[in-house]
Amino acid sequence: MSDASTLELARAAGLAVEWTDQENRPRTVEIGVLHAVLSALGLPAGTEAQCRESTAELARLKGSGRLVTVEAGQPIVLPGQQGSWRITLEEGRTLMGAGPMPETLPLGYHRVEVQGWSGILAVAPRRGWTLEDAGSGRRLAGMAAQLYALCRRDDAGCGDFAALAALARRAASRGIDALAISPVHALFTADPALTAPYAPSSRIALNPVYVACSAGTLAPANEELIDWPAVMTAHLAALRQDFAHDAASPGFAAFRRHAGPELRLHALFETIATAEVAKGGVSDWRRWPAELASPRSVAARRFARDAAEEVAFHLYLQYRAEAGLAAAQQAARQGGMRIGIIADLAVGADPGGSDAWMRAEDMLRGLSIGAPPDAFNRDGQGWGLTSFSPFGLLRGGFSGWIRMLRATLAHAGGVRIDHAMGLARLWVIPEGASPRDGVYLAYPCRDLMRLLALESFRHRAVVLAEDLGTVPMGFSEKLAVGGMAGLRVLWFERVAGGFRPPSAWTREAAAMTSTHDLPTIAGWWRGRDIEWRRRLGLRHEAVAARARARRLLWRSFCAAGAAEGEVPGPGEGARVATAAAGFIGRTASRLALLPLEDALALEEQPNLPGTVSGHPNWRRRLPARVETILDQPDVAARLRALRAGRGNP
């Protein structure tokens, strides 16, 4: 058969047959890659007959949606709309009529019936809750923290929600308005060796390791590196004791009555996974007995009945985790923060985890997500994650997306959308293939952004969208129109002859010195990242080039009024970190976020992308406790420099 039919089908399915890489070079996807991806999407294209059948199936998939989004005040167009209509508003009132629908419907989710179609009409605001809304026009100062890294007196070996609440109170008292944290998604209690926070089992459930437990005899507290298996094992043992005394409490009883189906299924997943691991199996549901591979199977329902007490325990873990996170946000807002906690929403989930188990029909299957080759990763990146399928979103009326947003924003004043380009497209890779052999798959961006704006507005929660890397043309502008703030990181804000001056930084954005995946200020200044990458055989910047970049950065700091004097030596990272705090404080961006690693002038970064072993990713603890960390003179000075740049000394 000719390739023309495959190419036509691929384009109709949302695959970018041609695309432009980060260096502005045109690329064309090989036909074999298209065949593999189309087949994984349920649209085989090996023959002309298959192409015809898949084209018909694609039309059916595109017409299967049961939710339509519209911007408030705009004309409403629904599938098959003609003649009379009936609208049941979210508040319960019913409207009936014929012809065009009213453009003055209130924001929310309304049930609509027209000839040939019935479903949900989501009426969204033009933009969500913005940084301008949160700050009432003021430029805000914030901090970023790896939650697991926090230390408090008598903790149990890792950061927890009690430490977060304590840090939030102290940061608020020092004029900080936001505290962005690392993901708190549920991992796998049955396999505590799986520790990557951006590869969760569920993006709806929470990680119970962050429930505050007293150290006692649990795990070594305040070690430099976290022993995750020991910490998780000790936490679960302590929480089982709590459950024995608290199972009949009114608070937990109310939580059980109101827990959504996703939390109940996550608790069942954890119970089955624990049982499978105990008998020598694995936590990955794809390798469970076939009769347990679906939560709706007779065997799974029977398991839930037979192990009701264990399922209740795992639901209790969610009860405690939600209470802890809610208390941290309450502490932040009561302390005077205008935003409070900013949660982090991972771009995907482990394909062997509970999200994929309970929503298998909504998720990508036979495909993993990642990133194409770029200047930093010549071979591309394969993250080993799954995410929603665009067709699964349509079939499910975006219910998984909406539920995930609500869970994320329930106890937060904002959310950071990891790899926000996934709202528009994801780089998908056939199972077993190289990340190079992937293709961009389009997503219903307009619908996803409208639903995000609606939930953001309802929760009065800001949205930070990580728009770093290979960004589609015009994507950052779309974010701004929707009220979502992009991220601007010092290392990437370069112009000819140096670094971008503060006044030229994007206004509708969050400015940062660095991120968890990049060098800290002090580490970059010394060249610690170069040392690590050289040691592990990874691509790295030349030492001479770094020396030139140091001079340019210091010159930019001095020109902005954030520093003065001669260029510091490689070992004077603390002085540079103070200048960097003042520099991002001076930027035009509405929010300036200072990571705790840079507030402390630490040299080691939390994560080194491209490594699984060799670098202690997601394990480093901070060298000071939350009770005193912001009182250290040099930390206090950096926070003052940050706030002064905001116009809030």
Give 458-496 as a 3 state SS string.
HHCCEEEECCCCCCCCCHHHHHHHCCCEEEEEHHHCEEC
Is 108 inside any structural domain?
A: yes
Same domain, 351 and 476: yes
Domain assignment of residue 625, yes or no: yes
Boundary-marking domain end, from 436, 463, 483: 483
- Amino acid, res. 10: A
Range of the domain at 561: 490-649
Tokens representing 138 are 């003021």
pLDDT for 571 equals 95
Low-confidence ranges of the chain (pLDDT < 50): 217, 219
Proportion of the chain in helix, strand, coil states, percent, rounded to 5: 40, 15, 40
pLDDT for the residue 217: 46
Residues 459, 526, single domain; the answer is no
**Residues 467, 502: one domain?**
no
Instruction: Find out whether 359 and 267 touch, Cβ atoms under 8 Å.
Output: no
pLDDT at 78: 86
Q: Are 383 and 351 in contact (CB under 8 A)?
A: no
Pairing of strands 94-98, 84-88: antiparallel
What is the pLDDT at residue 79? 83
Q: Are residues 109 and 178 in the same domain?
A: no
Indicate if 548 and 628 belong to the same structural domain. Answer: yes
Q: Is residue 68 in a domain?
A: no
Does 479 lie in the same domain as 361?
Answer: yes
67 falls within a domain? no
Residue 152 domain-assigned (yes or no): no
User: Residues 363-416: pLDDT tens digits?
Assistant: 999 999 999 987 667 788 999 999 999 999 999 999 999 999 999 999 999 999
Picking from 13, 30, 62, the residue at the C-terminal end of a domain is 62
Residues 320 and 411 in one domain: yes
Do 368 and 318 fall within a single domain?
yes
Torsion 454-460-466-470 (CA) sign:
positive
Residue 1 is predicted with a pLDDT of 59
pLDDT tens for residues 45-82? 999 999 999 999 999 998 888 999 999 999 998 887 67
Q: Among candidates 482, 364, 480, which has minimal Cα distance to 429?
A: 364
Same domain, 345 and 479: yes
pLDDT digits (tens, 9 = 90+) for 347-376: 999 999 999 999 999 999 999 999 998 766
Same domain, 446 and 538: no
| Residue 102 located in a structural domain | yes
Query: What is each CA distance from 69 to 123, 318, 457, in whole angstroms?
Result: 6, 32, 15
Same domain? For 226 and 318 the reply is yes
Q: Which amino acid is at 429?
A: I
Domain assignment of residue 35, yes or no: yes
Q: Are 577 and 641 in contact (CB under 8 A)?
A: no
Angle at 135 between CA 134 and CA 139, to 5 degrees: 135
Give the neighbor-by-neighbor strand order of the sheet with 117-124: 67-71, 117-124, 108-114, 84-88, 94-98
pTM of the model: 0.96
Could you give the number of structural domains in the chain? 4
CB contact set of 502 (below 8 Å; sequence gap of 6+): 560, 583, 584, 586, 587, 588, 645
Q: Which residues pair with 341 in a beta bridge?
A: 179
Give the C-alpha separation, 221 to 156, whole Å: 5
Could you tell me if 211 and 320 are in contact, meaning their C-beta atoms sit under 8 angstroms apart?
Answer: yes
Strand residue runs (E) in 239-357: 340-345
Quickly count: other Cβ atoms within 10 Å of residue 23's Cβ. 9
Q: In a 10 Å sphere around its CB, with 0-12 CB exposed, 13-18 middle and 19+ buried, how is residue 217 labelled?
A: exposed
Q: Tell me, letter by letter, the H, E, C secondary structure of 534-601.
A: HHCCCCCCCHHHHHHHHHHHHHHHHHCCCCCCCCCCCCCHHHHHHHHHHHHHCCCCCEEEEEHHHHCC
Do 561 and 431 have their domain in common? Answer: no
Res 610: pLDDT: 83
Q: Is residue 150 part of a domain?
A: no
Domain harbouring 461, CATH code: 3.20.20.80
CA distance 279 to 529: 42
> Could you give the CA distance from residue 206 to residue 212 in angstroms, rounded to a whole number?
13
Helix (H) or strand (E) holding 512: strand 509-512
Which pair of tokens denotes residue 278?
A: 């105990």
